[in-house]
Structure 1
Amino acid sequence: MRVDGRDIAVTGNLLQPLTRRTNDILRLVLASVFLVVVVTSTLITRYEWETLERSISGIVGVLSPTQSNAVYLVYAVAIVALPFAILIGLIVQQQWKLLGAYAAAGVTAILSLSITGNGISAPRWHFDLNGRLDTMLSQFLDDPRWIAMLAAVLTVSGPWLPARWRRWWWALLLAFVPIHLVVSAVVPARSLLGLAVGWFVGALVVLVVGTPALEVPLDDAVRAMARRGFRVTALTVIRPAGRGPLVLSARRDPTGEAPDIAVCELYGPHQRGGGFLAQFWSKVRLRDSETAPLHTSMRRRVEHRALMAIAVGELGLANTSPIAVATLDRGWTLYAHRPARGVSVDHCHESTPVARVWDALGLLHSQQIAHGDLRATQITIDDGTPLFGGFTSAEYGASEAHLHTDIAQLLVTTADLYGAEAAVTAAITVFGKDEVLGASRRLTKAAVPKRVRASVRDAGTALSTLRDEVKGQTGADQIPTATITRFTRNQVIQLVLLVALVYVAYPFISSVPVFFSELRSANWWWALAGLAVSGLKYLGAGAALWACADGLVSFRNLAIMQVANTFAATTTPAGVGGLALSARFLQKGGLGALRATTAVALQQSVQVVTHLTLLVIFSFAAGASTDLSRFVPDATVLYLLAGVVLGGLGIFLFVPKLRHWLATAVRPRLEEVLDDLKELAREPGRLAMIIFGCATTTLGAALALWASIEAFGGDASFVTVTIVTMVGGTLASAAPTPGGVGAVEAALIGGLAAFGVPAAVAVPSVLLYRILTVWLPVFVGWPIMRWLTRNNMI
């Protein structure tokens, strides 16, 4: 390469791989949106759109018929010649690999608009000049397939062609809209459809085949470095451009001195969009105190990195120094700097005390500078002195949040190299217990960047070990997690639960008018009695879970939690939210994770056994003459369920990973539950408490339904109502809908009908029962759950 009369030797492959740029993805998204808008507007507002066009055409259409024909003829010639001009341009640019994509885009666009109800309608284009010239040209100008083909091939060819050509050709293609209006014609809706389809097809082809890298402006880079006093004599490619910059090694040979080396990083135009979107996503996801100001251009981002290298270099802690930062032709940005001095700390940590690394970070923080990327590869040791590199995420005048993030990152990195105990001890020596304790709140996956977690072994275990070590050396009982995101996990869960609540309540809301008309004849004393006895459910469930937890938690708070449990169980399928909430409450009450899960599983196991036992007892008490066929599924359904269960069991037994999961995750907890059941057998009082609580839960619901039936003048025995309630409860736990909505109501109404309760009584009774036992507790459970959250009980 020859630059300003000097020969520069270039070694290595500068050909950059085909990449999927952020712009390519955004182009496809915009093309999809435009296509949807065009199709929708064509179907909905077609006639109004044509009327508006005629009105506009009547205003701007000032040309005479002769002038209109002349304009139409000239433009039609240009449109017919446009695809051939694009093809010639590609050949001139020697873009031979693009010809396949060019042809694929054009053919696909034409075929997309040639499909009809009778098959594929082939275009009837011809170049017969025997008739009028404008008649021959109109077949192309008014055919949406030609417009689609032009838009497709122009979209595909755009990244390979000079920007000036691309802009002029797009302007020529889009000019068909004003041309039609000026010549007092209406823009055909099918032409807009062709434009939308062609753009979409071209964007899709570009995304599939990839965008070529533009020519690298090495001559501009050499001139920029020469202006900074570094006269390059040779360039060697170290790393081709891809997801990161194109990295080259630049050498100069000063007279009488050893060769001088510099590292040149060239950032292409395709890397600007992705970097900005990553910053923008961080702004949306994280709090303002956690994110740096947006860099809207690659030059600003590179400048920031160079300035931070200068600031850290003044402290003697930078392993590199900038040489040049410049904006080059075709959207490229240059960052030239000295090679990193020293050896990466992960290669010499055995000979470097961990205290020195923490002393270096302490000096950096004393000037209120945060590094932001403290991986081992960004820390080097030069003659025993720790130095920092990178500086992409560094901040001057950093906030407390950034400084704490630095401490958390270095804890992770040094713990991987030196061990958790040594890392925490050195950190406390430099920053003190309070600072380290505050920073340890960020020892979470959300707060420690993925790039740092990926640089160490088993990041999850390392974070947990570090938190335990910090608690041990600082004497803290617990380390609350720092909230770095705009929306916490609890807020997201609560939002999902609210949306689910609206979803499950919608069918009930639609039946509210009929229900309220029936309330006029209800006996309100029985309704109040039903509300009172429904409270036995929460006392019984709280007593059973309290006994399963060996009385290690507050019974009062546990009973209150059962109301919030109703909200969580109703808004999640099969009540899994309620089980998770119970386990979480027990953990916050002092039980370990395994012990809390075992207590909940034990309570559920006894609940199932008690439920089935009561169902058998009350079924015998109801008498053999009662028609219970509605509660028994069809034999085919039973066989199908049995087959599914056996098939699932076979899959778990024959698939090694699933079998391993059963042995390591399920089996220990099942054994724990069985051991607890054995211990319960030796403690009659505790066992009786659990059984009594479970039975009270079931019977309390039955009493609420019986009181609801009495409120509407029904006549049903408590025994039959209990059977119906237990069957409905079974369906509630098996139904895929949250809270069993729909399935439970149908089962209860059908069950009451099987025992002779009229539909005029059964329907409002069941609705009242569901209000008393589900919907009122749900709306009360929401504020209770928030109260439990504020008091750190869940």
Structure 2
Amino acid sequence: MDSARADADVYVVEPLLPQRLRRPSDLLRLLATLLTLGAVILLALVAKQTLYGLEMDVTEGTTLVPLLSRTATFVGGAAVLIVPVAFAVERVFHRDGLRVAEGLIAAIIGMVGSFLIGQWLLAGHVDDLTQLLTGGRSIEPLNTLLISVIAYTTAVRISRRPTWRALMWTVIALDILALYSGRQITLPGAIVAVLVGMVMGYATLYGVGSPNTRPPGNAVVAALRKLSFSPVSARRIDDDHQGSRRYAVGLADGTTLDVTVLDRDRQVAGLPYRLWRRFRLHSETRRRAIRSLRAELEREALMAYAAQAAGASTPRLIGTSEIGTEAALLAYEHIDTRPLDEVPDAEITDDVLAQIWEQVSLLQIQRLAHRRLTGDGIHLDPAGRVVLTDARSGEIAAGDLLLRLDIAQLLTYLALRVGAERSVGSAAAIMGSDTLATAMPLLQRIALTRETRSALAKQKSLLAAIREQIVALKPQGTIEEIRLERFKPRTLVTIIVSTLAAYFLLSQLSRVDVIQVVTTANWGWSGVALVASFVSFWAAALMLRGFVPEALPLWRTVLVQFAASFVKLVAPAAVGGVAINTRYLQKRGISPGLAVTSVGASQFIMMVFHIALLLLFAYITGSNTATTFTPSRGLVVVMLAVALLIVVLFGVPPLRRMITSRTHRLFSNVLPRLLDVLQSPRKLIEGSIGTLMITIAFVICLYACVQAFGGTIDFTTVAVVYLTANAIGSAAPTPGGLGAVEYALTLGLTVAGVPAELATSAVLLHRLLTFWLPVLPGWAAFTYLQRNEAL
């Protein structure tokens, strides 16, 4: 600790402020520039031909206006060095040479880094990117001088000086035009060079840090004096949950102020998390994720005044002020309290619970949402009275959703401390059972604060217990379902994996002519493959009928299987069919529990048949074709990798629990359902035949597709390849196993000895017949079944 002397002999007790800070804003700019750079490179690689045509047009245009090109060469080439030097001289005269030094460090890093990256590209590691950046000419992939200048410009924060900024970027643009007209740089190379230079500049700024411009404690005291306060002492206390500085300031009249300081460089702290929550959740709030210092000051002050006007017990705001251009303060009347987190559970009496809900009720009457009803936002004074703090998180004129979110959050937090029964009982006594019923759909983990979600990890059944208590209070109430989550992380993973799968398919399609694949295939074998594909839908209907004791019409069940093929376009392969079949059985009057167990039983038996057939065909293949189908080194590596993956999945406890819980939900109560089926031998035979025919039909389809292009491969080998690839596709999170199935089938056929181009053509034809072609009849079946209320 150190003491810094302020005006009028007021000492501020606070730690020495660091001379340099790593600003979160610099890190965010670095990450944003890196993302932009990646997007530009990907877009340029995709639109190579368009960029080449644009470059030719611009080059031709510069030749038609030679004066412009020569002017740019003369002005830009010299000014791009003169302007940075002039700015450096100006900064040195203003005793800001440290900023110039940071710029020089960035320029050196930019020059060395761009040179090393350029040499790596010229070594042939990424030929497509090198061709894009050089245009096939003997030039630098990344212009080292241009990148150095931009890195310098970024690191010296020239963007804060409007005149210098306009001048600097003008000469950079002229230099790029000169390099471009002289064929010393390509259009993609110029854009990438600018972004790489900015990356180097921001990386330098964040790496070496920036001078600390936060006003010290004596500046806070001086600002308070301007508000007509008479400070006599000041000391730094713990920062709040958002990282803002706080001071306890003693006044001449013996009272104390609690001062919160908002620093400009902290305004972007926590931005990625706020953006993630805003993007992922449905919410009525219109609060901006990035707020200016002035907006943050006004927001907290307005919420504090609104809470006081509502009659709520909150610290009284008695002054606000800016502290120069880098900070602002809010001065609150000091109340001697302790947060509820520090209060033992035994001291949280029914009276305290009632007071908490009374305070929240006062806020809700005035449409004020607190947004942080946790143990550090609720305090108790020495007399046991409740005080609400942390007004800056709140919302005025809040909508119904935000008000109900407050109730759900407080219900959960108090239940963690005193139990679900007391939490709900105290809330019902003040808020009423109707209000609690409206908040019940919001009792979801995603709706709660980060601290509350972490605490719930140890009491996973607590939310269900709270719901039970509310239902007991109002059993006849209709519960409106509310979806807060726009998407789950699993959805995001599916989108990413689907994008990668689409990229793989496009790369595969670029190697073959799809029209040629269809026109050159043997029509006889193609017809066999088409028939086998459509037989699989009939077989799937038999399988479902066999594991449902109740009678199901055959042709309508076949239509349901076609509808499932349409749903596979938007759902993983193992999910779409299960969901459609379960829904179909429910519409047939079968209870949801029995419908799920019936589909689960069919899936379980299909898995057993799948493994048995894989072992059978693998044995036949190994015994009959050992001389022609010897596993290659690549296949051995793949098999070892699959074995390692299985060991990891079942060896790591969290992954094992996730898998077992998922499979348990799908296959629970399967055995009783199978016993029901065993009582009808006809049903058992029908289900077994359907299960067996599904696999055989798909194997015949793939075998016929290989034969359609003149391939020579055993039927049993094709069966092994298909069964293995189908298992991979079922596990893939992409719609219909897109990408994973194609890659696995192509790899398997190639390892089995089929030429790569022939294997690719056969797989594309197979997927066309089994995945893409049934989509249109599947859509028609889906529409028909919905119209007739069968789905």
Query: What secondary structure sits across from 1:336 in the alignment?
Result: strand
In the alignment, what sits opposite 1:131?
none
One-letter identity of the residue aligned with 1:733: N
Aligned Cα root-mean-square deviation (Å): 6.2
What's the secondary structure of 1:289's corresponding residue? coil
Q: What's the counterpart of residue 22 of structure 1?
A: 25
Check conservation: 1:537, 1:701, Cα contact below 8 A: no
Secondary structure of residue in 2 paired with 1:369: coil
**Counterpart contact for 1:28–1:203, Cα < 8 Å:** no
Aligned position for 1:465: 465
Contact 2:582 2:596 in 1 (8 A): no
Take 2:605 and 2:86, find their aligned partners in 1: how far apart are those partners? 80
Q: Which amino acid in the other structure matches residue 330 of structure 2?
A: Y
| Aligned twin of 1:201 | 200
Mapping for residues 136-175 of structure 1, pairs under 5 Å = 149=148, 151-153=150-152, 155-158=154-157, 173-174=168-169
Amino acid at match of 2:229: F
Corresponding residue for residue 346 of structure 2: 350
| Structure 1 residue 197 displacement after superposition | 5.3
Question: By how many angstroms is 1:300 displaced?
Answer: 2.0
Q: Give the alignment of 1:342-741 within 5 angstroms.
A: 342-346=337-341, 347=343, 349-351=345-347, 352-353=349-350, 354-382=353-381, 383-454=383-454, 458=458, 460-475=460-475, 481-486=481-486, 511=514, 515=518, 533-546=535-548, 562-566=561-565, 575=574, 578=577, 590-591=592-593, 599=601, 602-608=604-610, 611=613, 634=631, 657-658=652-653, 666=660, 684-685=678-679, 689-690=683-684, 692-699=686-693, 702=696, 727=720, 729-735=722-728, 738=737, 740-741=741-742
Cα distance change on mapping 1:386 and 1:558 into 2, 3 Å: farther
Superposition deviation, residue 512 in structure 1? 5.1
Q: Deviations over 1:264-304 (max 9, x none)?
A: 22222222345777666655444462444677422222222
**1:309 aligned residue:** 304
CA shift digits 1:700-749 (9 cap, x unpaired) = 565698899999x99xxxxx999688556524424558263476599899
Q: Give yes or no for contact 1:745–1:767 (8 Å, CA) kept in 2.
A: no
Measured after TM superposition, the shift of residue 178 of structure 1 is 8.5
Residue type of the alignment partner of 1:398:
A
Q: Kindly tell me: are residues 174 and 291 of structure 1, through their superposed partners in 2, closer, same or farther at Cα, counting changes over 3 Å?
A: closer
SS of residue in 2 equivalent to 1:335: strand
Q: Percent identical across equivalent pairs?
A: 19
Distance in structure 2 (CA, Å) of the matches to 1:641 and 1:476? 58
- Aligned match of 1:58 in 60, 67, 80? 67
3-state secondary structure, aligned to 1:602: helix
CA contact (8 A) 2:678 2:684 kept: no
| 1:110 alignment partner AA | M
Unaligned runs of 5+ in 2: 121-141
Change (3 A) 1:581 1:324: farther
Structure 1 unaligned blocks of 5 or more: 120-142, 715-719, 754-759
CA distance in 2, matches of 1:764, 1:14: 70
CA distance in 2, matches of 1:270, 1:326: 17
Compare CA radii of gyration and give the structure with the larger one: 1
Local SS of the residue matching 2:446: coil
- Given that 1:268 and 1:333 are in contact with CA atoms closer than 8 Å, whether structure 2 keeps it comes out as yes
Alpha-carbon distance in structure 1 between the residues aligned to 2:116 and 2:744:
46
- What is the TM-score normalised by the length of structure 1? 0.70
Alpha-carbon distance change, 32 to 374 in structure 1, aligned in 2, over 3 angstroms: closer
Do the aligned residues in 2 keep the contact of 1:83 with 1:150 (CA within 8 Å)?
Answer: no
Q: Distance in 1 between matches of 2:787 and 2:258?
A: 54
Distance 2:628 2:177 in 1: 75
Instruction: Show CA shifts across 1:503-522 (max 9, x none).
Output: 79877995356536879989
Tell me the distance in 2 between the aligned counterparts of 1:632 and 1:181. 59
Question: Deviations for 1:547-587, whole angstroms, at most 9, x for unmatched residues?
Answer: 6xxx7999999876644554566877874765687789999
* Worse-superposed segment, 679-688 or 7-16: 679-688
Q: How many angstroms apart in 1 are the aligned matches of 2:704 and 2:115?
A: 69
Q: Cα distance 1:505–1:178, how it changes in 2: closer, same or farther (>3 A)?
A: closer
CA contact (8 A) 1:320 1:340 kept: yes
Q: Normalising by the residue count of structure 2, what TM-score does the alignment of the two structures yield? A: 0.70
Given that 1:82 and 1:150 are in contact with CA atoms closer than 8 Å, whether structure 2 keeps it comes out as: no
Give me the whole-angstrom Cα distance separating, in 2, the residues matched to 1:74 and 1:99: 18
Moved more, 205-214 or 99-108: 99-108
> How far apart are 1:10 and its partner, in Å?
1.6
Question: Hey, what's the Cα distance between the residues in 2 that align with 1:567 and 1:421?
Answer: 47
Aligned to 1:265: 260
Which moved further from structure 2: 172-181 or 725-734?
Answer: 172-181
Contact in 2 for aligned 1:57/1:181 (Cα 8 Å): no
State the Cα deviation string for residues 26-80 of structure 1 (Å, max 9, x = none): 15644885899799899987776677668778379999xxxx99x9999977755
Amino acid at match of 2:67: G
For residue 359 of structure 1, report the CA deviation from its aligned partner: 3.0
8 Å CA contact retained: 1:534, 1:772: no
CA deviation vs aligned residue, 1:667-716 (integer Å, no higher than 9, x gap): 997999799669968984367744541322332565698899999x99xx
Tell me which of 8, 12, 15 is aligned to 1:13: 15
Separation in 2, partners of 1:649, 1:10? 61
What residue identity is the alignment partner of 1:108? I
Equivalent-residue separation in structure 2 for 1:202 and 1:493 (angstroms): 32
Q: Structure 1 residues 770, 701: closer, same or farther in 2, change over 3 A?
A: farther
Q: Is the 8 A contact 2:404 2:439 kept in 1?
A: yes
Q: Displacement of 1:206 after TM fit?
A: 1.4
Matched residue count:
730
Q: Distance in 1 between matches of 2:637 and 2:79?
A: 73
Distance in 2 of aligned mates of 1:360 and 1:268? 30
